[in-house]
Amino acid sequence: MTSTYRSLNPTTEKLVKEFPCHSDPQLEATLARAHQAFLTWRHERLGTRTQALLAIAQDLESHAEDLAALMASEMGKPLSEGIAEAKKCAWVCRFYAEQAADFLATEPLESDGSAAYARKDPLGTILAIMPWNFPFWQVFRCAAPALAAGNTVILKHAPNTPQCALAIENLGKRHLPKGVFQNLFLSNQQASLLIADPRIRGVSLTGSTRAGQEIGAQAGRALKPMVLELGGSDPFIVFDDADMEQAVKIGTFSRCLNSGQSCIAAKRFLVAASAYAEFTERLTQAMTELTIGDPLEGCNMGPLARADLRDQLVHQVDEAQKHGALIQGQTQHVPEVGYFHPAIVLSGHSHLSVPAQQEFFGPVAQVFSFTDEQNAVELANCTSFGLGASVWTRDLSRIEWLAPRLDSGSIFVNGLVKSDPRLPFGGTKQSGFGRELAAEGLFEFINLKTVWIA
């Protein structure tokens, strides 16, 4: 059970700072402040709430480089990716500041009364349980719509990114009323107590499928609405008429972004048999040419965030080889110090083998071949996950047939699977349920209240 939050630099393997979990009295005080703040925040003019989001957006952009350096030192994200993440957080704040009035507008309804309408009221305090891999973006894509709607938020961040959590809390302190956004360093047992407390009115989790099962069970027992964004093993489907150069370029970027530690990364490359040899050769070449090193020094990939994550990936690659997988190639010059793992291409093993059914949370690409469209769908859907899918073809008529048959929360055609404030985001099967972003993300934590007048 987590008792301390540890900021440990994954490049140097050196401990930077430790933070004890908050005490139970501190937890109670924080929750009381959040609930009391909600009673006022929910009735603030919408313009006041959206102006706060705009101020946070400006702050994020002004300090993007500093925040990126913090991400690099705490979980290994390359500096350029961290800057982009901070700016994307500013984007989502601006998006909800600009769209909240339309999203929250009262809806007139037909009824047997003289009038009827639906209000969109906030629920209360939302518990956001967030991961380390995108330590700012994951928080803001949950918090921005929740705050715009009039909810308050308590953040339980990952135990290895405490300084990122404090930086986000400080943004809230600078621009929001006291108690509207707060951070808590919590053990899992304390988080369970929070979920059960009636003052917590909803739970949002981004994390592993296992975490989703635990948190989902607890929130279900407490009858709390929840959003679960969990793991993924996204298929990257390449037909023989695809723009091969672009598919390889985007596929490599998708697989190795954030050192491969992304739920929506391309993880299984499904390639038409006639194009399999060419694509695999090109992908292998692109992966082996990546540079790996200190995330502050302009490399393509930094380290994995923790030693146990690297060790798990090494174990999965070993298991895949035992099931017949061949290593086609891997990046060279991997630093000896730090939690680094080379980018690797695996091929030759069955798509039904145990390793092929797992999520590889790191820069390991698995390549399989398919015979036709039906076979491509079978391979894409054969895992327990269903987060995103990328399809590469010049024949766009294929998409009409493929789209209703692929089990995924999103399909990106000839492009990178990504999250965008304007588009609903989430998964199906063991990748979770509920939606973030767009109007749907705001609606997850509101009370759609019917008002009927005789």
CB environment 56-70: b (16+ within 10 A), e (fewer): bbebbbeebeebbbb
The answer to whether residues 288 and 214 belong to one domain is no
Residue 248 resides in a domain: yes
Spatial contact of 115 and 450, defined as CB atoms under 8 Å apart: no
Helix axes 79-103, 46-62, angle to 10 degrees: 170
| pLDDT tens, N- to C-terminus, the chain (454 residues) | 567 999 999 999 999 999 999 999 999 999 999 999 999 999 999 999 999 999 999 999 999 999 999 999 999 999 999 999 999 999 999 999 999 999 999 999 999 999 999 999 999 999 999 999 999 999 999 999 999 999 999 999 999 999 999 999 999 999 999 999 999 999 999 999 999 999 999 999 999 999 999 999 999 999 999 999 999 999 999 999 999 999 999 999 999 999 999 999 999 999 999 999 999 999 999 999 999 999 999 899 999 999 999 999 999 999 999 999 999 989 889 999 999 999 999 999 999 999 999 999 999 999 999 999 999 999 999 999 999 999 999 999 999 999 999 999 999 999 999 999 999 999 999 999 999 999 999 999 999 999 999 9
Which of 154, 152, 147 minimizes the C-alpha distance to 130? 154
Give the Cα separation of 49 and 27 in Å (integer): 25
The answer to whether residues 67 and 171 belong to one domain is yes
The answer to whether residues 207 and 250 belong to one domain is no
Residue 6's contacts (CB-CB under 8 Å, 6 or more residues apart) are 15, 17, 18, 19, 159, 160, 162
The answer to whether residues 310 and 226 belong to one domain is no
Annotated catalytic residue within 74, 229, 359, 444: 229
- What's 359's domain CATH number? 3.40.309.10
The answer to whether residues 240 and 215 belong to one domain is no
The answer to whether residues 210 and 258 belong to one domain is no
pLDDT for 160: 98
pLDDT for 332: 87
Residue 164 resides in a domain: yes
Q: At 129, phi and psi to the nearest 5?
A: -105, 110
Residue 423 resides in a domain: no
Residue 181 resides in a domain: yes
The answer to whether residues 320 and 297 belong to one domain is yes
The answer to whether residues 302 and 387 belong to one domain is yes
pLDDT for 3: 78
Cβ atoms within 10 Å, residue 322? 12
Q: What angle do CA 337, 15, 64 make, to 5 degrees?
A: 90
Q: At 108, phi and psi to the nearest 5?
A: -70, 140
Annotated catalytic residue within 93, 164, 256, 263: 263
What phi-psi label fits residue 438: left (phi over 0), alpha (psi between -120 and 50 degrees) or beta?
A: left
Would you call 229 a catalytic residue per the annotation? yes
Residue 269 resides in a domain: yes
Question: Given CA atoms 326, 330, 332, 335 in this order, what sign does their dihedral have?
Answer: negative
pLDDT for 2: 66
Question: Given CA atoms 173, 176, 178, 183 in this order, what sign does their dihedral have?
Answer: negative
- What's 176's domain CATH number? 3.40.605.10
Give the CA dihedral 220, 261, 418, 381, nearest 10 degrees.
-70
The answer to whether residues 285 and 387 belong to one domain is yes
Helix (H) or strand (E) holding 8: strand 4-9
pLDDT for 337: 97
Domain tally for the chain? Answer: 2
Which of 77, 203, 200, 195 minimizes the C-alpha distance to 133? 77
Domain that holds residue 133: 4-230+429-453
CB environment 379-418: b (16+ within 10 A), e (fewer): bbbbbebbbbbbbbbeeeebeeebeeebbbbbbbebebbb
Residue 53 resides in a domain: yes
Would you call 214 a catalytic residue per the annotation? no
Give the Cα separation of 199 and 213 in Å (integer): 22
Which of 42, 247, 27 minimizes the C-alpha distance to 149? 42
Which of 251, 256, 346 minimizes the C-alpha distance to 76? 256
The answer to whether residues 225 and 274 belong to one domain is no
**Whose structure tokens read 């350096």?**
69
The answer to whether residues 383 and 444 belong to one domain is no
Residue 386 resides in a domain: yes
The answer to whether residues 80 and 135 belong to one domain is yes
Residue 422 resides in a domain: no
Spatial contact of 219 and 226, defined as CB atoms under 8 Å apart: yes
Which of 61, 374, 412 minimizes the C-alpha distance to 251? 412
